[in-house]
Amino acid sequence: MSNMIDITNDNLNKLIVLGDTYFDILLFNCYNKLSKQIDKDKLDKALDDFINVYKDLFDLGLSISGYQFVGIILESNLSLTKELDIRIAYFFLSVGFLFSMFQVFICYVIMEYLRYIREESIEFLIIGINRYKFMFKSVDFLFYLNCILFIIPINILIYDSLDEYFGIIFNCLSTIIYSVGVYIHYKVMMRKQKYNLNQKHIKTAKKNHNMVKCVDECFNNKEYSICRKIYK
C-alpha cells in the first residue's frame, strides 16, 4: 500500500508542476495532480536515485582529479621548460584539478543534503530541492568543464609525441567526439522527450530493430501524443 501524503499548500502544488530538470521530473512523477498527493514510497526511491547519480559523478570527478594530479607531479622539470605551449598545457591541467576537486566537494554536499532532508517534512523537502536546483545542476556544467580542461592539455602535449599532422587529426577527433557527447547528453537527458507513434514508425522499428528513426521524425512534429508527464 502506497504511503500517500496530502499537499495542502496551493503554492507547493504549483511548485511541483513547474521546472524541467531531472529533479523536477522525478519529483513530479511521485505526485498525483488530481488528488494533490505525493507518494512517500516513490519519493524515497527517487531520493535514492538522486544519491546514486551524484555518487557516480563523485567517483568520476575523483578519478579525473587523480589523472590530473599524476600528470602534474610527473612533470618535475616544468620550471626548466621554456616552451610557452607546454606551460599553458600544464596550467590548464592544474586548473582542471581544482575544478575536479570542486566537483567532488559539491557532489559530497549534495549527497549529504539528500540523506538528511528525507527525514524532514514533505513541504520542507519540496522547497529545499527547488531552492538548491542551481547547485544540483551545476555538477553537470562542472563535469563538462572538467572534460574540457582535461582534453585541452592532452591536445597541446600530443604535439611533443606525434607529428604535426597527426596532432591536427587528434585535435579534430577530440572536438568532434566531445561535441557529439554533449549533444547526446542534451538530447537524451535535457531536451523535452515528445513522440508521435503510428504504423509507419512500427514498420520502421520492425525493420531496423530500433526506434531511432521514429524519434528523429517525431521531433519535427508540432503535436505530440506521447511525452513525459511533466510536459503534458
Residues 151 and 223 in one domain: no
Residue pLDDT, tens place only, 12-27: 777 777 766 777 777 7
pLDDT value of residue 127:
83
37 is a domain residue:
yes
Long-range (24+ apart) CB contacts under 8 A made by 29-32 are 29/229, 29/230, 31/7, 32/4
User: Could you tell me the CA-to-CA distances from 50 to 45, 181, 190, 199, 216 in Å, in that order?
Assistant: 9, 22, 16, 37, 29
Residue pLDDT, tens place only, 116-157: 888 888 888 888 888 888 888 888 889 888 888 888 888 888
Name the E strands within 93-229. Answer: 194-195, 226-227
168 is a domain residue:
no
Q: How many domains in the chain?
A: 2
C-alpha–C-alpha distance, residues 73 and 207, integer Å: 54
**At which of 108, 138, 160 does a domain end?**
160
Structural domain boundaries, residue 215: 193-232
How remote is the C-alpha of 60 from its chain's centroid? Answer: 12
**At which of 112, 136, 160 does a domain end?**
160
**Residue 227, beta-bridge partner list:** 194
pLDDT at residue 172 above 60?
A: yes
Residues 200 and 110 in one domain: no
Torsion angles phi and psi, residue 227, rounded to 5: -155, 170
pLDDT value of residue 106:
93
Residues 154 and 86 in one domain: yes
User: Could you tell me the CA-to-CA distances from 5 to 1, 25, 115, 129 in Å, in that order?
Assistant: 13, 18, 20, 17
93 in Cβ contact with 71 (< 8 Å): yes
**Residue 37, beta-bridge partner list:** 6, 32
Q: Does residue 206 sit in helix, strand or coil?
A: helix
Helix axes 133-157, 40-74, angle to 10 degrees: 30
162 in Cβ contact with 168 (< 8 Å): no
**At which of 160, 179, 208 does a domain end?**
160
pTM of the model: 0.71
pLDDT value of residue 188:
74
Residues 118 and 199 in one domain: no
